[in-house]
């Protein structure tokens, strides 16, 4: 397992999680309140210790929740937002988890 030293990928993942927070603030769905809190916490945690594993874990959870929600309400979450989150997760996985 890598020691997560690729700052560019880690920052991209952080930006993906910040995008997820923005999405949650726009759609204001009560069922996502816990997810929003988790995302804010992992972003703060990453800024403190530079360990992106929490960003990946909760970012993955957010992406799955958004994809399911988008099936119910197709216009609630933009494709651009989903793509940004998905690409940041994919880059992280490619760099650290697929090797």
Q: What token pair was written down for 19?
A: 């995008």
Token pair 């930006």: residue: 15
Q: What pLDDT does 2 receive?
A: 54
Given this model, what pLDDT does residue 98 score? 79
pTM of the model: 0.93
pLDDT per position as a tens digit, 26-51: 999 999 999 999 999 999 999 999 99
- Three-class SS of residue 78? coil
Output the CA torsion sign for 29, 60, 41, 48.
Answer: negative
> Looking at residue 20, what is its pLDDT?
97
Q: Give the Cα separation of 76 and 58 in Å (integer).
A: 20
Centre a 10 Å sphere on the Cβ of residue 10 and count the other Cβ atoms it contains. Answer: 22
Residues in the chain: 99
Reported as a pLDDT band with limits 50, 70 and 90, residue 99 is low
CA 79 to chain centre: 14
pLDDT at 1: 42
């Amino acid at each position: 397992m890598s020691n997560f030293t690729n700052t560019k990928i880690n920052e991209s993942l952080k930006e993906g999680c910040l995008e997820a927070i923005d999405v949650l603030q726009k759609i204001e769905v009560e069922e996502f309140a816990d997810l929003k809190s988790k995302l804010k916490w992992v972003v703060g945690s990453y800024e403190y210790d530079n360990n992106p594993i929490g960003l990946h874990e909760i970012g993955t959870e957010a992406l799955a929740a958004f994809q399911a929600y988008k099936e119910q309400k197709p216009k609630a979450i933009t494709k651009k937002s989903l793509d940004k989150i998905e690409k940041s997760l994919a880059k992280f996985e490619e760099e650290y988890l697929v090797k």
